[in-house]
Amino acid sequence: MSTTPTSTDRTKPAKRLTPPDIAAHKGQTPLVCLTAYSAPMARLLDGHVDVLLVGDSLGMVVYGADSTLAVRLDTMIDHGRAVAGASRHACVVVDLPFASYQESPQQAFRNAARVLAETGAAAVKLEGGSEMAETIAFLAARGVPVMGHVGLTPQAVNALGGFRARGRDAAEADKVLADARAVSDAGAFALVIEGTLEDVAREATRAVTIPTIGIGAAADCDGQILVTEDLLGLSGPRVPRFVKRYADLGSAVEEAAARYATEVRSRAFPGPDQLYRKRSG
């Protein structure tokens, strides 16, 4: 049974979900996960989700970069602190950005420890499969909860040759499955499977003992995640195939900005209700 509060009880104190709570969702009610990069968004989403991911996708969504590769650790910490501080219920997970953990398990621990200490988040997420198993085990043994990430791994976009779905041939499918098992066996508490053919993601979900969280993967995963700006229509005209838009707030923002501009230019704004005036008498 889901532990996420309904819209009618969001004012009640909520127990903060932990990595063990998330791990216990394997085969249960699907986990609801969304990205958040700011305190206002975290407050709006917190009562409806199980996991808030402060993803390095903020490099593209917030800063307009072409990939996640330029995101710095300090940037992740700043945004992670905002999201963790503004939420009360969701398990907050922060991405370790490119080049902050690949060098060695020791480097990964130093930077993961900074993230947890300076943000108040519960866990970190890192990309990679078999090659990162030693690092995941090193972190988990030292009290750092780790969410894994296999399939399409955006930090490896140059090595992968672009943002294309994984598992299209037998070799790719076998690698996704091997990576999923390696991450699970190493001690991760959950696993994101991104941009992977449905049957491969389904098989990976069955092959591991930890919850899988799909994004462009399979409905059979133990949970789903999307970039919040994508589902709200705030990320531009083109979105990935796996995104479903639940609102078109982009058009609403443009319309509001256009009305504001018109009223400022016509001097209709500010009006009497927006001005401070000396009281009569």
> Binning pLDDT at 50, 70 and 90, where does residue 238 land?
confident
Q: Is the dihedral of CA 92, 95, 123, 187 positive or negative?
A: positive
Report the predicted TM-score, pTM, of the whole model to 2 decimal places: 0.92
d(CA 36, CA 94): 10
CB neighbours of residue 239 within 10 Å: 16
Contact 95/113 with Cβ under 8 angstroms? no
For the chain, give every domain's residue range: 19-248
| Dihedral sign, Cα of residue 140, residue 144, residue 150, residue 156 | negative
Please report, in angstroms and rounded to a whole number, the separation of the first and last CA atoms in the chain.
Answer: 63
Q: Enumerate residues 6+ apart whose C-beta is below 8 A from 165.
A: 152, 195, 196, 197, 216
Predicted confidence (pLDDT) per residue in 175-205, tens digit: 999 999 999 999 999 999 999 999 999 999 9
Question: So what's the pLDDT on residue 237?
Answer: 72
* pLDDT confidence of residue 74: 98
Q: Which two structure tokens, joined as six digits, stand for 187?
A: 């001690």
Is residue 131 annotated as a catalytic residue, yes or no?
Answer: no
Domain range 19-248, CATH architecture: Alpha-Beta Barrel (3.20)
| Catalytic hit among 103, 131, 194, 229 | 194
pLDDT more than 70, % of the chain: 94
Query: Residue range 29-52: average pLDDT?
Result: 98
Average pLDDT over residues 207-226: 98
Instruction: Reduce the DSSP state of residue 277 to 3 states and report it.
Output: coil
Distance CA 119, CA 77 (A): 6
pLDDT digits (tens, 9 = 90+) for 168-182: 999 999 999 999 999
Q: Which of 241, 223, 55, 222 is nearest to 165 (CA)?
A: 241
At 10, is the pLDDT very low, low, confident or very high (cuts 50, 70, 90)?
very low
Q: Give pLDDT, residue 149.
A: 98
Q: With bands split at pLDDT 50, 70 and 90, how would you rate the model's confidence at 87?
A: very high
Please say whether the beta carbons of 212 and 191 come within 8 A.
Answer: yes
* pLDDT one-digit tens code per residue, 46-86: 999 999 999 999 999 999 999 999 999 999 999 999 999 99
Q: What is the mean pLDDT of residues 221-232?
A: 98
Q: How far apart are CA 166 and CA 177, in angstroms?
A: 11
Task: Give Dmax (Cα) for the chain.
Answer: 84
Q: What is the mean pLDDT of residues 145-156?
A: 95
Q: Distance between CA atoms of 251 and 255, rounded to whole angstroms? A: 6
Task: Supply φ then ψ for residue 244, to 5 degrees.
Answer: -115, 130
